[in-house]
Amino acid sequence: MPALCRLQDGGDFAADPYPRHECGIFGVFGHPNAAEITYFGLYALQHRGQESAGIVASEGDDATFRMHRGMGLVSQVFDEPKLKELRGNRAIGHVRYSTTGSSTIKNAQPIVVNCARGQIAIAHNGNLVNANILRDELEAAGSIFQTTSDSEVILHLMIQPRREGHEATLVSALRRVQGAFSLVILGERELIAARDPHGFRPLCLGRLDGAWVVSSETCAFDLIRADYVRDVEPGEIVVVDGNGIRSIRYVDPSHSSAFCVFEHVYFARPDSVLMGSFVSETRKRMGRELARLHPAEADIVIPVPDSGNYAAQGFAEESGIPFEQAFVRNHYIGRTFLQPTQLIRDFNVRVKLNLIKEMVRGKRVVVVDDSVVRGTTARARVVNLREVGAKEVHLRVSCPPHRFPCFYGIDFPDKKDLLANQMTRAEIAKYLGVDSIGYLDVDGMIRATGRKGSEFCVACFTGDYPVGFDARLDKMILEQQRRRTGSLVEEETAHPRLF
């Protein structure tokens, strides 16, 4: 998988053109080295978030939670001494890309609260569309927030007193929040995994030496040698405690699902299993569908690594055109504080992908990429190909054109910044400088998954949103709201106390 920070144009993230996305979550219950297992789980999920990482661990009932969080990659945030401090047989962890709230340490997860019902920690993947409304309501009732993350809203709803007990409180909280959420929650006596009624984001259960593990993707199970058991179902709460494991359905099982199809296209690691199929095979099938829909007369097919690799293989196999790895990816780059625009033209493109010139010189080239969002970097790649002597450049994209923003946990930009929303197909080809362009259509994309179209959210392609939202919604809405009201709390306060 490619590194994150793949949002085009501007700021610290200018180096990559693709959508940034949600987060990765992981949990362990019943293993003597829970924090270490969680560390390796997060390491496998690093592609889902590179802004911050955190782990909360506990030794058992009523034991004080131990937590460490930091900005940066998992390997930068944790070392052996820090992991040894996180003693316990249960833990949850999180790698973050901010979809609501800014990239600061106060918004890093897991978030821990100490309240009347004890200690609770939460890690969240997804994005709530009614967080601002609920937060206003909770603050009016006296709640004090320490972050601008929508995840904290869930915690405040969970600590509301109810006579029915803790599980009823959780069910009530999850029925009130709207949007996308896959959660791992650590209580003093239990580990909880939960998924929203539409199942926007993945979440799965596994077993390791008698312990239960929870992960955003199955690739984490492979690293720690855990056995995949099943997915957490949409609208399901799974509770693991000293008595074993049990399931709570908090919505009707017939509720319509809306799994994010872009997990198949780009987000998930190719060695993960989604909806019963390896992501790598699904992407190959997308490439085959693309070759049938938009054939090209060319000498070679080259992928944009890494996310375009499997689709390009499928395109090459279906079309009979030789597959070559002409782009070489540098995997060892982070952000650069220096933007040497006068020294190296298109530095942000060239530093990540370099061309093997002899492979493309004088040839008709099909370039296969997983998506084109704003097009700036795709355009720079085409310039690079022309400069080294490519005779023709044909771009093939293994998903439909992105025409609408996402409000469920992917940082797609505003409509006005989406290339396909502002230009016709012919205008896009001219802007990118390609001889032809072809996008996979929605039907072909769904066929490649082997599932029914009714199971997916395809709103970023069609504008058909399965859950309504505030039209003003963006990732900074809670911060903007706090600034307007003057109620953003910057220092620690009591009730509840956040660690």
Active site residues: 23
Backbone conformation region of residue 494, classed left if phi is above 0, alpha if psi is from -120 to 50, else beta: beta
The helix-helix angle for 131-140 and 151-158 (nearest 10°) equals 40
Strands 211-215 and 204-208, bridge-based pairing: antiparallel
Residue 473's contacts (CB-CB under 8 Å, 6 or more residues apart) are 129, 132, 407
* Closest alpha carbon to 63 in 188, 240, 190, 191: 188
Beta strands in 385-442 (DSSP E): 392-397, 436-439
Going by the DSSP 8-state scheme, the letter that residue 106 receives in this structure is G
CB 307 within 8 A of CB 332: no
- The beta strands (E) that lie in 375-432 are given as 392-397
β-pairing, 111-115 with 497-498?
antiparallel
Cα separation of 466 and 394, whole Å?
34
